[in-house]
Structure 1
Amino acid sequence: MPGLDLLATFLEVYRTGSLSAAAERLGVSQPAVSGQVARLEERLGGPLFVRSGRGARPTERAVALAARVGVHVDGLRSALGTGDQGPGVGGLVRIGGAAELMSERVLPALAPLVARGLQVRAMLGLGDDLLAALAEGRLDVVVSSVRPRDAAVRATPLVDEEFLLVGPASLAHTVDQVRLAADPVPALAHLPLVAYAEDLPIVRRYWRSEFGRRPPNATSLVVPDLRAVLAAVAAGAGVSVLPRYLAAPALEAGRVVLLHEPQAAPLNTLYLAVARDAPPDPARAAVVDRLGEAAGRWTSL
């Protein structure tokens, strides 16, 4: 198991997107940061970042690792008194979002604020329901995959979700690659679908975006939780379309495989929404700022 120092350095590079910025925050030299990242990559058996003149872009392995260890490392650093906690944050913020995104990205991103005293109450649900709760004053912040239409709600783009068509290797082997390149809809038509809802909202959007029509495939399983969709796909129940942030660890581990590689991956914008006429609130502002900073590191999901 990598030591706390290696993981803490990795998280600083991941969060700042830069070896030099991480070194500055940690109070060490850039070569020291680079050496620690290299040792961690050697321990894990693969690269965590792609270095360029614009910084350090995380690989899928890095995204998966940060999701697994971020909250725990922050908690340990706080308990040991080694974390940069910053000033206290008081108040209560009620935030809503999809269960999968809240679990994998939003709530971990807010953990440092909670460690500094912020109270958070999370509501999980569908975009339209959560935005209605925001407009009615029952929520303070919503991360929504639906663009708000209510004039009482102010929304700003937060980050783009990138969608992937994935399936188990056992079904991927049944796809004729030559036919897939020439005529993808019939090439994939024999594959059963695992879907989030009966009307196939995510799958249908992918088929229309990439193939120009609805999927003719039979639906084998419907479950309103994308984590359960992924588990069913990995177990062999069918194929599905999932956001990259959720599918990446399973792809890395070989539990699922990519079935189709579009020239430009289908994207869906997530919005950060607040009530337009809400009075100033430092706690809400801290949450909005924190999620904006985190989204800058995510680049896309």
Structure 2
Amino acid sequence: MPHLDLLSTFLEVYRAGSLSAAAQRLGVTQPAVSGQLARLEERIGEPLFVRGSRGVTPTRRAALLAARVGAHVDGLRGALDPADEPPLRGTVRIGGAAEVMALRVLPALAGLTGRGLTVHVTLGLADDLLSQLADDRLDLVVSAVRPSRTGLLAAPLVDEEFVLVAPPALAHTVDADRLRSEPVAALAHLPLVAYAEELPIVRRYWRGEFGRRPPNPVALVVADLRAVLAAVAAGAGISVLPRYIAAPALAAGEVVQLHRPEVAPLNTLYTAVRRGGAAGPAVTVVRDRLQQAARGWSSL
């Protein structure tokens, strides 16, 4: 099965985060791993990893390929040598923002817990969670920022699309013509509902779409995007939210999309683990399951 060998090598590189670590796990030389990876990249027609001084970083194509073939390759290897099949036992410690964990990540992992895997979840901000990952207090983090720490390996998971939303009553106070020509001024009278005092999501939207910080007054700050949506729907102000959170309220008419950019603002979520695969095969199973589930999420 020559293609299975290529895919097996690819998966080891993807999971270990370096050619040398993959070679050690496969019991072959690093040039052999590099050669097989080059053959697969040639067959696919695009690179699967970005090479760096501390290892390799998977491209989006690599993440999609791993999600597509991981379980199948593991199953075939397990049929030949059951000892190679990743076990579904033990505990995996994962971290992420409360909203995406509740609405996407944990439902995707429910099937694994039903097969015997224990999952311990820590909710919080990306920087804090990535520090815990680096310190071996977590095994995997779903991060809204790309990790820059030495020793962490990140793979793209899914893109979040952001929308500017308002309750209908406030939306009616915005002059449509002025919103097109002078958006900052047209929106300046509307109070903001924010996730944090620094306005991280709102500020990024204003700068990306309007070229400056928002001058608006801040009416309410709450560190949960679902609570932000509830406050906006109740009339407290306007805010910027991931579409997957705002979608039910948009469909129900409880809030409206106040601004429609030509290109939707996106932010990539990543899965982050420690390099070298030291956390064990259960973490690999969890990461592969999330990548597989994310293919059905489209953009969030």
TM-score by length of 1: 0.70
What SS class does the counterpart of residue 299 from structure 1 fall into? coil
Counterpart for residue 169 of structure 2: 170
Q: Distance in 2 between matches of 1:216 and 1:143?
A: 32
- Tell me which residue corresponds to 2:117: 118
Shift of 1:272: 0.4
Q: Is 1:209 the counterpart of 2:224 in the alignment?
A: no
Shift of 1:88: 7.6
State the AA in 2 paired with 1:252: A
- CA–CA distance in structure 2, aligned partners of residues 150 and 223 of structure 1: 28
Higher relative contact order (CA 8 A, sep 6+): 2
Aligned to 2:217: 218
Letter aligned with residue 103 of structure 1: A
Opposite residue 133 of structure 1, the aligned amino acid is Q
3-state SS in 1 of match to 2:295? helix
Matched residue, 2:100: 101
Equivalent residues of 1:92, 1:121 under 8 A apart: yes
1:51-200 aligned within 5 A: 89-200=88-199
Residues in 2 aligned to 1:138 and 1:192: alpha-carbon distance in whole angstroms:
39
Q: Is 1:261 matched with 2:289?
A: no
Are the equivalent residues in 1 in contact too, given 2:87–2:282 (CA < 8 A)? no
What is the CA–CA distance in structure 2 between the aligned matches of 1:203 and 1:246, rounded to whole Å? Answer: 15
Q: Which amino acid aligns with 2:106?
A: L
CA distance in 2, matches of 1:195, 1:254: 21
Q: Indicate conservation of the 8 Å contact 2:145/2:269, yes or no.
A: yes
In structure 2, the residue matched to 1:18 is none
Amino acid paired to 1:207: W
Give 1:140 shift: 0.5
Aligned equivalents of 1:276 and 1:168: distance in 2?
45
Root mean square deviation of aligned Cα? 1.2
Partner of 1:34: none
Structure 2 distance, partners of 1:184, 1:148, is: 33
Please state whether the residue corresponding to 1:273 is helix, strand or coil. strand
Q: Unpaired segments of 5 or more residues in structure 1?
A: 1-86
Deviation at 1:278, TM superposition (A): 3.8
Query: What is the distance in 1 between the residues matched to 2:126 and 2:240?
Result: 19
The 8 Å contact of residues 144 and 272 in structure 1, kept in 2 or not, is answered as yes
Deviating runs (4+, > 6 A) in structure 1?
none
CA shift digits 1:25-63 (9 cap, x unpaired): xxxxxxxxxxxxxxxxxxxxxxxxxxxxxxxxxxxxxxx
Deviations 1:99-130 (A, max 9, x none): 11101101011111111111100000000000
**Higher Cα Rg, which structure:** 2
Alpha-carbon distance, 1:277 to partner: 3.0
Identity of aligned residues (%): 68
Aligned partners of 1:113, 1:222: CA distance in 2, in Å?
36
Aligned residues of 1:94 and 1:140 also touching (Cα < 8 A): yes
Deviation readout 1:256-281 (Å, 9 max, x if unpaired): 11100000111111110001134262
TM-score if structure 2 supplies the norm length?
0.70
Contact 1:88 1:116 in 2 (8 A): no
